[in-house]
């Protein structure tokens, strides 16, 4: 979900390239969960 090149470069500085894919997947899962939680919250408040 994150397509910002600067952010990906930042990740590459922190993590060795062999770990970048696993980290990227974890970040995508985190954002998907966050979106699901926001949707659930919206339904509850409506």
Kindly report, residue by residue over 1-46, the tens digit of the pLDDT: 456 666 766 666 666 666 666 667 777 888 888 888 888 888 877 6
Please state, in angstroms and rounded to a whole number, the distance separating the CA atoms of residues 38 and 43: 9
Question: What domain range is 26 assigned to?
Answer: 15-45
Q: Is residue 9 part of a domain?
A: no
Spatial separation of the C-alpha atoms in residues 18 and 40, rounded to whole Å: 35
User: Is residue 20 in a domain?
Assistant: yes
pTM check: above 0.85: no
Number of domains in the chain: 1
SS3 at position 3: coil
Domain membership of residue 31 (yes or no) is yes
Q: Distance (Å, rounded) from C-alpha 28 to C-alpha 21?
A: 11
Question: What pLDDT sits at residue 40?
Answer: 86
Q: What CA–CA distance (Å, rounded) separates 15 from 42?
A: 35
């Amino acid at each position: 979900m994150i397509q910002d090149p600067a952010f990906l470069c930042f990740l590459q500085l922190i993590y060795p390239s062999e770990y970048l894919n696993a980290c990227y997947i974890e970040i995508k899962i985190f954002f998907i969960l966050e979106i699901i939680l926001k949707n659930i919250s919206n339904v509850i408040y409506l």
